[in-house]
Amino acid sequence: MNMKRFLFLTVAFILFSTPLHAATLEEKVVEHTLKNGMKLLMVERHTSPTVSAWIRFRVGSVDERSDERGIAHLLEHMLFKGTTTLGTKDFAAEKPLLDSIEVTAQALMGEKAKREKSDSAKIAELEKQLAKLEADASKYVIKDEFFELYSKNGGTGYNAFTSRDGTTYLISLPANKLELWAAIESDRLQNAVLREFYTERSVVMEERRRSYDADPESKLWETFVAASFLTHPYGQPTIGWMSDIENLTRSKAEQFFHNYYAPNNAIVAIVGDINTKETIALVERYFGMIKPGKEMPPVTALEPKQSGERRIEMVAEAEPTVMIGFHKPGITTPDDYVFDVITMILGSGRTSRFYKKLVIETQLATEIGAFDAPGNRYPNLFVVSANPRAPHTVKEVEEAVLTELDLLKMAPVAERDLQRILNKIEYEEARRMGTNGGLARNLTEFEATTGSWRYMTENRAKIAKVTPADIQRVASTYFTRENRTVGFITKKGGDK
Amino acid sequence: MSRFLLLLFFLVSAVSSLYAADQQLANPRTMKFPALTFHIPKAERVLLDCGMPVYLLRDSELPIINMTAMIRVGSVYEPAAKSGLSGIVGSVMRSGGAGGVASEKMDDELEFMASSVESGIGSDMGTVSLTSLKKNFSRTLQIFGDVLLRPEFSAKRLEIARQHAVEGLRRQNDDPKEIAGREISRAIYAGHPLGNVATFDSVRSITRQDLLDFHRRYYRLDNMILAVSGDFERTALLKELNEVFRPVKYEAALLLPNIPQPKELLQGALLYGKKEVNQTVIRMGHLGLTKDSPDIYAVRLLDYILGGSFTSRLTMEIRTNQGLAYSVGSHFDIGRRFTGSFVAETETKAESTGKTIKLMKNIIAGLTKEPVSDDEISTARDYMINSFMFGFTTPASIVTQRARLEYYGYPDGYLEQYRDNIAKVTRGDILTIARKYLHPDAFKIVVIGDAAKFDLPLESLGKVRELDLKLNIPKP
């Protein structure tokens, strides 16, 4: 070990680091690629004796076939259930039961799929058999052993999330416990067992009811995004529609797992109180022998050019809300940088145009925001979302928003507005290095969606090149009636 | 110091030799780890010339400074007829101009520097916070001082804030989870300021003079604590703080209202609100305890075992074993100034509402009948003790935590002795405090959903009182 460097780190650990200048992200990130293609990104931060480890797989709901909708997310849940050695008392005894459960569950789904022509006696019998088999299998299960192991060792924030673009597994641990992460995660990647599948599928249905069905704004959002895409899978909700979830099987989830969960589709970020050399050795030791899988094929569906406004109404027991979307190109395209500027000018903070006009001046709305969604890897939407303030209507808010968009086409944006955006990005560059988890999240996200975490450091220079003329051109190109989808809630029993 | 260096060197070499010696892959169940020494980070406490305590922690990793003022104020000080006043004071302090700087100019100046100054008032604490790049700190600090001490409460911005509060009330019954959260809190704290909610009438009655009076009474230099962290230079910072917070002679002594503790009647209630949804929101609970009770350590462990972790009894049975819910749990919110609460919560499909309510009550009651297992208490203890260091991961969280301990009057050594106090708790202690603090028969239960689709008539679970969810909706 390099002694001088070690002493410097030790001192830094005690006094909090006091370098002459704050190191930039470019200087701090250490990259390493394993022979099997797994990408490792590390940052040493010695503020506290903790470490955050994030694994991102380049597979999300956008990669599902139509009969697999919801599987990326359900699989994410299932990957908490253990392996051939963890989460089980005796896998050899458990396995035949799991196989019988799968046969029975598929027979049950097949019968239920006949809907009104199904045989209710047969359904009842299969349900009884399934319950019996599940009870038998559960005798071998050690419930949530991953969680239990991490917890006992002081792990926090053990979680995972699935988006259109990817699936991420995260944990923070005391810095001396990183080997536990390597052991569990490498085991999960190679030997996962999707036990308790059909109970967990019910949990996901409850998640769907909670996050979409019973929440009017989220339900509108789901409908609005689906209406915006005819062909591209970005239109499908990541969690799946209810009937999708009802027909997912463990076999499908296993197939999806084997197709996509391979080291060459994985990006790992480890940020915190680590030594990068030792961390590389640790990761090589636990993940190095895993065989690479297939290359991820890109999504081939191309959304046809929209040729007219789409309007989506949802009647609900809720006050009105409105969403306006325009198709636009995905991340790293030249116009996307222009959209970054437009999004900030229109929607970021108290100096944004929407806030100043609709919230303060005309007071048509109480809340208004602009963002892009539902993913980044493929062409997506620029979205404006607002809550009208009674007695003002969806229509009034919509007209006011469109007026602001037209203004962007007609008049060049002032230099000071552009400078304010660059100042904000400069601040964000510093701030996002302030927590292990936040930095690990950004590193994995941008490495996965843009091809390199350096997107974070190069973004400001790209945005600095955006001119007022670029903004006018992009606004005129994309903010058209033909390219627009509007979704809104009408209050049930209301007259608006 | 040199001894400490040596110790660290030993630890790190222990790590490397372990890696070198053991090329086998370790079993997660039996894995051993190198020792890790964790010292609780300290913050320096300084008194400004005006007497205000300031906690300081310097860290130059990032060129950013964070600052928070904690003010002894809260919604508990609002008169019931003016419910919503403190929320509006907190927001208009920032939005309504201050120190001669008009709203629009302040917004423009702050956002051009990428600085932020924000203000808010919770149930028992007001905060004004600042974040700024080091190079813009001095100007941002002046604005921070103005917002805190010299807000102008522009009439136009007050009107906008009032309209937003009205619109918020209009929307307060849109999301069933929001309804349930509000109603369980109202039921638990009925008759106490913590149970008051804003109404159209109370919000409409608020005047600019109310804002000025409320602010003048509580936002005084002798009623707040500061916490500062980040890339500052100590001497220069203290000089600047002393200039912004020059000593003030107040005409009257600080007078904080005396708010009584909420009363627990241990009387159950079943409240139902109708929403046409396919999933029912369920909340149940009653009053809990305050931080001054010696029982808080046992309660923390009970919380983890009952409903505070992924392997808790509630989650294990209702989610993992039965697939009845995605989100289920329970939590003792340990009160700092006022008696806290215990609330258990979940959402389940309409058709399993009755089953789930009964199951939750039974699981909770189970803790009052038998001691928890050795495994349960040791996992909970290990988690609490081993994850303790995550309370200290950023300079801002370290320094804010120290200031909060003083603000709420925690005893000296609270943090230092926390892990030992957790380690001392026995299975018997948990049974004792479960019997003392959990009374399932006296739960206030809130059920929001569509009773026509429930598996059981709600009346079979108790006497139902239906909530009028239209009560707060004004005529358009």
pLDDT score for B21: 40
Dihedral through CA B191, CA B194, CA B195, CA B201, nearest 10?
100
Flag whether pLDDT at A25 surpasses 60.
yes
pLDDT score for A256: 97
Query: CA B276, CA B465: separation in Å to the nearest integer?
Result: 18
A209 touching B, CB under 8 A?
Answer: yes
Flag whether pLDDT at B472 surpasses 60.
no
Strands A322-328, B464-466: pairing is unpaired
Q: Under an 8 A CB cutoff, do A427 and B476 touch?
A: no
Taking alpha carbons only, the member of B380, B286, B265, B298 closest to residue B330 is: B286
Q: Under an 8 A CB cutoff, do B107 and A391 touch?
A: no
Flag whether pLDDT at B452 surpasses 80.
yes
Cβ-Cβ contacts under 8 Å for A79 (sequence gap 6 or more): A160, A169, A188, A192, A194, A257
pLDDT score for A23: 78
Q: What b/e readout covers B180-201, taking b as 16+ CB neighbours within 10 angstroms?
A: bbbbbbbbbbeebbbebbbbbe
> In Å, how far is B378's CA from the nearest CA of chain A?
8
Flag whether pLDDT at B80 surpasses 60.
yes
For chain B, first and last CA: distance in Å?
A: 70
Q: With 0-12 CB in 10 A as exposed, 13-18 as middle and 19+ as buried, what is B218?
A: buried
Query: CA B383, CA A156: separation in Å to the nearest integer?
Result: 9
Strands B341-349, B328-333: pairing is antiparallel
Flag whether pLDDT at A11 surpasses 80.
no
The string of DSSP letters for B148-215 reads HH-B---HHHHHHHHHHHHHHHHTTTSSHHHHHHHHHHHHHTTTSGGG----HHHHHT--HHHHHHHH
Query: CA B410, CA B390: separation in Å to the nearest integer?
Result: 20
Q: How confident is the model at residue A22 (pLDDT cuts 50, 70, 90)?
A: low
Query: CA A189, CA A35: separation in Å to the nearest integer?
Result: 16
pLDDT score for B265: 82
Flag whether pLDDT at B14 surpasses 60.
no
Q: What b/e readout covers B419-430, taking b as 16+ CB neighbours within 10 angstroms?
A: beebeebebebb
Q: Under an 8 A CB cutoff, do B63 and A430 touch?
A: yes
Residues in a beta bridge with B286: B342
pLDDT score for B161: 98
Are the CB atoms for B22 and B34 separated by under 8 Å? no
Nearest CB to A214; choose among B19, B23, B277: B277
A172 touching B, CB under 8 A?
Answer: yes
Residue A28: CB atoms within 10 Å: 15
Flag whether pLDDT at A420 surpasses 80.
yes
Flag whether pLDDT at A373 surpasses 70.
yes
Q: And the tokens for A35?
A: 């022979």
Flag whether pLDDT at B336 surpasses 80.
yes
Taking alpha carbons only, the member of A449, A189, A153, A441 closest to residue A298 is: A449
Residue B457: CB atoms within 10 Å: 10
B-chain CB neighbours of A19 within 8 Å are 60
A97 touching B, CB under 8 A?
Answer: no
Residue of chain A whose alpha carbon sits nearest to that of B277: A214
> Which of B292-296, B449-453, B468-472 is the least confident region?
B468-472
Residues in a beta bridge with B226: B54, B69
pLDDT score for B474: 58
Q: Under an 8 A CB cutoff, do B112 and A419 touch?
A: yes
pLDDT in tens, A127-139: 999 999 999 999 9
Residue B250: CB atoms within 10 Å: 11
What average pLDDT does this structure show over A261-270? 98
pLDDT score for B476: 45
pLDDT in tens, A271-323: 999 999 999 999 999 999 999 999 889 999 999 999 999 999 999 999 999 99
pLDDT score for B115: 98
Are the CB atoms for B195 and B185 separated by under 8 Å? yes
Residue B48: CB atoms within 10 Å: 17
What average pLDDT does this structure show over A143-172? 97
Q: How confident is the model at residue A82 (pLDDT cuts 50, 70, 90)?
A: very high
- The rounded mean pLDDT for chain B is 94
Q: What b/e readout covers A264-302, taking b as 16+ CB neighbours within 10 angstroms?
A: bbbbbbbbbbbbbebbbebbbbbbeebeebeeeeeeeee
What average pLDDT does this structure show over A33-42? 98
Largest Cα separation within chain B, whole Å, is 77
Q: Please state the pTM of the whole predicted model.
A: 0.93
pLDDT score for A495: 55
Are the CB atoms for B307 and B313 separated by under 8 Å? yes
A391: preceding bond cis by omega (within 30 degrees): yes
pLDDT score for A21: 55
Are the CB atoms for A130 and A105 separated by under 8 Å? yes
Flag whether pLDDT at B93 surpasses 90.
yes
B319 touching A, CB under 8 A?
Answer: yes
Q: Which residues, numbered 435 to 474 in chain B, qualify as contacts with chain A under a Cβ-Cβ cut-off of 8 Å? A: none
pLDDT score for B475: 53
Q: Under an 8 A CB cutoff, do B389 and A286 touch?
A: no
- Whole-angstrom CA distances from B312 to A79, A259, B380, B387, B432 are 19, 34, 10, 17, 19
A17 touching B, CB under 8 A?
Answer: yes
Chain-centre distance of CA A170, in angstroms?
A: 12
B36 touching A, CB under 8 A?
Answer: yes
Q: How many residues does chain B have?
A: 476
Classify B374 as helix, strand or coil. helix
Q: Which residue has the higher pLDDT, A366 or B471?
A: A366
Nearest CB to B61; choose among A47, A360, A423: A47
Nearest CB to B174; choose among A174, A186, A319: A319
> In Å, how far is B189's CA from the nearest CA of chain A?
27
pLDDT in tens, B55-64: 999 999 999 9
Are the CB atoms for A182 and A283 separated by under 8 Å? yes
Q: And the tokens for A98?
A: 């799991």
B23 touching A, CB under 8 A?
Answer: yes
Q: Under an 8 A CB cutoff, do A423 and B113 touch?
A: yes
- Give me the half-sphere count of Cα atoms (radius 13 Å) on the Cβ side of residue B110: 30
Largest Cα separation within chain A, whole Å, is 77
Q: Under an 8 A CB cutoff, do A144 and B316 touch?
A: yes
pLDDT in tens, A330-359: 999 999 999 999 999 999 999 999 999 999
A118 touching B, CB under 8 A?
Answer: no
What average pLDDT does this structure show over A118-129? 97
For chain A, first and last CA: distance in Å?
A: 72
Are the CB atoms for B190 and B263 separated by under 8 Å? no
Amino acid at B350: A
- Whole-angstrom CA distances from B79 to B83, B84, B88 are 7, 9, 14
Q: Under an 8 A CB cutoff, do B28 and A187 touch?
A: yes
Q: With 0-12 CB in 10 A as exposed, 13-18 as middle and 19+ as buried, what is B90?
A: buried
pLDDT in tens, B178-223: 999 999 999 999 999 999 999 999 999 999 999 999 999 999 999 9
